[in-house]
Amino acid sequence: MDDEEYMKPMLPTVPEKCGPPVIPLGHLIEFAVQQIFHELTVLSELLPKKLDSDRKISIVQFAHSTRVLFIKLLAVVKWVKSSKKFESCASICYFLDQQSQYFVDTADRLVQLAREELVFASMRKYCFVPFQIFGHIERLENVDKIVKDVH
């Protein structure tokens, strides 16, 4: 085992549906092609009715929007190459979500315990006074001494 692997904290593996949303690259490319095809279809229907200068402007605008769309797609592809660095972020977020859920479950259970089981649990007022003054209850210390003497 390498030192780097040993130094890495043990993070849980993120289940498929608990991680960040994932869109396959094929869907992105298909969406881009469909959008460009739609724009090209609309452009081919509208161009014959326009003046020559308006046609040129429309073609340049179409070329520019198509170029921008594919540049965005290229940026996504290049980012995916370096996205391995960010996979640990998903593991960390999943781990923190787990810990948060454990904390909430524990707090809920303690509240339920206090409301249902400890309703009648109380200490008599005269027993509470030594505890309030001295910070301990003498009878419990005597029980501890007796138990220690027996063992």
CA distance 100 to 107: 11
Q: What is the pLDDT along the chain (151 residues), one digit of tens a residue?
A: 555 555 566 777 777 777 667 788 889 999 999 999 999 999 989 888 888 888 899 999 999 999 999 999 999 888 888 877 777 777 888 888 999 999 999 999 999 988 888 877 765 665 666 666 666 666 655 545 555 555 5
Quote the tokens at residue 51.
Answer: 């003046």
Q: What is the pLDDT of residue 49?
A: 87
**DSSP 8-state secondary structure symbol assigned to residue 14:** P
Q: Decide: 95 and 12 in contact? Cβ < 8 Å.
A: yes
pLDDT for res 129: 65
Percent of the chain that is helix, strand, coil (3-state, to 5): 75, 0, 25
CA 95, CA 88: separation in Å to the nearest integer?
Answer: 10
H helix and E strand count, the chain: 6, 0
| Half-sphere exposure of residue 137: CA atoms within 13 angstroms, side-chain side | 11
CA distance 24 to 81: 14
The pLDDT, as a whole number, for residue 126 is 59
Task: Please indicate, yes or no, whether the overall pTM of this predicted structure exceeds 0.75.
Answer: no
**pLDDT score recorded for residue 136:** 61
Say if residues 73 and 29 touch (Cβ distance below 8 Å): yes
